[in-house]
Chain A
Amino acid sequence: MATTPTQIPSPNYTAGRMNYRPEAIVIHIMEGSLSGTDSWFKNRQSSVSAHYGIGTNGEIHQYVQENDTAWHAGRVNAPSWNLIKPVRNGLYRNPNYYTIGIEHEGNENSEWTDTMYESSSSLIAEVAQRWNIPIDRYHIIGHHEIYSLKTCPGFKVDLDKLVDMSRRKVGYNPSFTIINQAGSVKTTSQLRIRIGNPSTMNPVLRIAPIGEVINYVGYTDEGQEVAEVTRWYKTVDGNWFWGGGVVEGY
């Protein structure tokens, strides 16, 4: 079910993304209430914002449009995030330009309510699908992974649980059966070859051009459903591609 955020526009954003696009989602904790965050982000003097804020009751507020750059993770300190973009020694691309920021009500020691997990995972699933962001721990990260002096999003949130809930909302089946039967197919369109699992939420290894013949070692009919097709093929290298973009018998 699509989320319908309440719009609370913040003046604290940069129009556009300087030719970058959202590639990851940064999870934050508000260190306060949803209403307090509304006020803080509406205040030009604060010079901070995020794209979304989620209350403990599951309510979602949107402060900045996803096509624009929110000011939520523009400082870097000893980052541990594997996919941060280095420029040269000690200098990084500003993470604000290629991330979506989601704030959550509470403080670093607050237990996350089931409702907040539910609402947050639904939003993450929608955002990830809109921007083709893989739903894994490389792409759904805590703010402290960029700025190590902060504990944000705190000690109570289980990011693995949040990722798992989000993956299930896009139809990912973590337990699928592989039929070990080799063959070959030909692509009928450009097709993404993905690492790990039969799901669009997994990282893209490469894009196969139209007309490429690909050998496979097996397939599953229990992969993520895309356009009513659940068949995915496993390549000889152990990667996966969607069955809706190929024809068999080559």
Chain B
Amino acid sequence: MMNSKASKVIFIKSAIAIVTASVILAGCGKGGDRAAAIPADAVEVKIGHVAPLTGHIAHLGKDNENGARLAVEEINKSGLTIDGKKVVLTLVPEDDAEDPKTATQVAQKLVDAKVAGVVGHLNSGTSIPASKIYSDAGITQISPSATNPDYTKQGFKTTYRVVATDAQQGPALANYVVNTLKAKTVAIIDDSTQYGKGLADEFEKAVQAAGVKVVTREASHNKATDFKAILTKVKGSKPDVIMYGGMDATGGPLTKQAAELGIPAKVVGGDGMCTEKLSELAGDAVMNVTCSEAGMALSKMAQGADFQKRYKERFNLEVQNYAPFTYDAVYVLVDAMKRANSTDPAKILVVMPDTKLNGLVGNIAFDSKGDLKEGVITLYDFKTKKKTVLDVIKL
């Protein structure tokens, strides 16, 4: 017994020693985080941005982050003054790996870092769990791309988005399938995420209401690579159209494998699939695809071409999908700061409902839940193997 007490004491001591040492190191580490030099008379205001920076859709996450970064850099260059003080914005980019658990951890990290507002997350499946943490902390969250209706239905004052919702996107896709493609039967597959399943459900409701028969409803997951088993079942049920609720990283291989199995059906998908990278992922089969985006097409935006040019100059990359929306989201936050004449998150939150801004994506004003008043759905096809605008639907 004496021995165990002694060893307990030793372990307590050593545990503390290690932890304290690491905490001190951590303190130093935190200090070293100040990458950019902030001038002495200016106030640093942090804006958080969260998207998947690793994993299957890292290219989309990076696209979002770049849009936000461009806005922050432009605002800093032209100078920002709030309440008589010069303000320098710092973007705090975080990676949620398209995973709800990581999203909550990262959200907590941003709250602890005392950001003034957050642009993000990219997916509905990450924006929703994270929103509780931002709501508890009273920090404004503007998602540039989360389309699931539940995001703004939670009764939180902090949830906003600058895109349309799946309650609008689903019916728009269904309308296309029923009236343009004249399909009588559809097969629906989703990736089991909040977004994918949600969009598929909305589509299913709308398409059934129009009298179309859903011959197969299957579930995959967002890291799948082999769809042969599911697609073979789909093949057997002979649908006119296949609808997929999910991202391009899974939608692309699914489209390709459907063609390999000789399935003649057309493929429709939502904004998660509607990216430039889809043609690379799906190969020649991409010509079968029609997809929608929950916002204005870049080519149809008044300042679109100019934004594209500036983006390309800064990052040497093509705009994938939602970069203009994160760009606008940053401007919305800054506009709120100006109207509140403060960088305090609580004061920013108060003036958010009265936002009236003319951004890249159009007129930005919010309804009582935090959704856009004037949303737009754009349809695209890939007949030329590149993403081309098919139709613009104003809501």
A associates with B = no
